[in-house]
Amino acid sequence: MRILVLHQYFLEDNDPGASRFNEMTKVWSSQGHTVTVLAGMMHYNGHEKYPEYKGIHFKRKMQGPVEVWRCHVSEQYNKSFIGRLWGYFSFVFSSLWAGLTKVKGSYDVILVTSPPLFVGITGVLLSWFKRTPFVFEIRDLWPESAIDTGVVTNKFIIKMAYAFEHFIYRKAKLINVLTPAFRTTLIEKKGVPSEKIVFIPNAADFSLSDELLNTFDAAAFKKELGQENLFVVTYVGAHGVANHLDQLLDTAELLRGEPILIQLIGDGMEKKRLVEEARKRGLDNVLFRDPVPKKEVFKYILASDLGASVLKKVDTFKTIYSNKTFDYMSCQRPILLAIDGVSRELVETAQCGLFVEPENPRSIADGILYYRDHPERRIQDGANGFAYAKNHFDRDVLARRYAEYLSNL
């Protein structure tokens, strides 16, 4: 099978972040499928292009067995809302051109993953021109998430976004959702036929964690970081409006004087402000780290006592699974979860963490103190999460199931 993937945020080999499709495309290639990816030139948390992309609009690369065409994205992407919008549409135009003129030969299926929703434009047009069915994947409900977080407020843009969303769902041959709540929303609120929807969720990446769990000296690394006498709570991920990391700064204020460190690894539009806010408050129990490649991230998680998953307290986020939750599970670390809804159901079913009320610093602080004072619970919850993820969220197994759905088209 020949698969063409449209993914604006497909990672470079050493990029930090969620690597769902990087891992899946490797599995598909190992099965004998030919995979080509149309990807952007800007990391979703990056502020500028890598030097190798300066002054060019397209570049072909091989990432292992996967052919990747890097396509132009405006460097205004992380400057403002208008810049972000232009970043989306610049990729629509460049990826469409690459799909029509750069990618050679025909394909059996086109797989489009969103957000951003606008990449669906490229998917529909390439599907028409190449007479190839396309599958649309929903990693986040959009425009709901943008509306709930206040990123999009213009009524005309909202109306157009909903109309375009409906159009994409109608044209796609198959729709993959990452959570059961997405499936319910599509059927009950958006009128999508149930037979058109499949469920391949986010997954745990055991290709990295299994090796590190057997070979990596987490205690030595923690000592090397100067954290051996601290209870370390690590958050890994985007520092954006949706994540509302101010709640962790507020929590750190409540924990002043305790031998507890809140460590935040990643980047995003809000990071500069958050760093300055922590400095103003004199929060010496908060540590910001730059993004690091996935393998290095796992080392920091393994050297931590607790993994934190937090989002802004809005209804839309009750429908999502957090990527970082699966990373903590694969590293046998318990989860401090400040996300209600299906993420809470997952963590409580797996018995691998503790739900705390989002945007309630007292609740979050109490959760941290509970885990600090109950080391046996930390160990048990970490083991529970690892076992549950192995049984239900192994990326290799899910990638093969995904390929079966694609081949059935």
pLDDT of residue 282 exceeding 90: yes
- Share of the chain residues as helix, strand and coil, in percent rounded to the nearest 5: 45, 20, 35
**369-384 pLDDT, tens per residue?**
999 999 999 999 999 9
Least confident span in 137-146, 209-218, 324-333: 137-146
Q: Work out the mean pLDDT of the chain and round it to a whole number.
A: 91
Contact 167, 190 (CB under 8 A): no
Across 319-325, average pLDDT:
89
**291-302 pLDDT, tens per residue?**
888 889 999 999
Q: What is the pLDDT of residue 43?
A: 74
Contact 2, 107 (CB under 8 A): yes
Domains and CATH numbers, the chain: 2-203+394-408 (3.40.50.2000), 206-392 (3.40.50.2000)
Name the pLDDT band for 144 (thresholds 50, 70, 90). Answer: confident
Q: Compute CA distances 291 → 81, 130, 267, 296, 312, whole Å.
A: 23, 38, 6, 9, 21
Least confident span in 177-181, 307-311, 339-343: 177-181
Name the pLDDT band for 81 (thresholds 50, 70, 90). Answer: low
Burial track 291-322 (b if 16+ CB lie within 10 A, e otherwise): bbbbeebbbbbbbbbbbbbbbbbbebbbbbbb
Whole-number Å distance between alpha carbons of 287 and 125: 46
Does the global pTM surpass 0.95? no
pLDDT of residue 401 exceeding 70: yes
Q: What is the pLDDT of residue 142?
A: 79
Name the pLDDT band for 157 (thresholds 50, 70, 90). Answer: confident
CA-nearest of 150, 91, 118, 159 to 269 is: 150
Q: What is the pLDDT of residue 78?
A: 64
Q: What is the pLDDT of residue 13?
A: 83
Of all residues in the chain, what percent carry a pLDDT higher than 70?
97
Q: DSSP 3-state assignment of 276?
A: helix
Comparing 263 with 242, the larger pLDDT belongs to: 263
**226-253 pLDDT, tens per residue?**
999 999 999 999 998 889 999 999 999 9
Rounded to a whole number of angstroms, the CA Rg of the chain reads: 21
**15-36 pLDDT, tens per residue?**
776 678 988 999 999 999 999 9
Q: What is the pLDDT of residue 79?
A: 66
Across 256-263, average pLDDT:
97
Q: Which residues contact 221 (CB under 8 A, 6 or more apart)?
A: 299, 302, 303
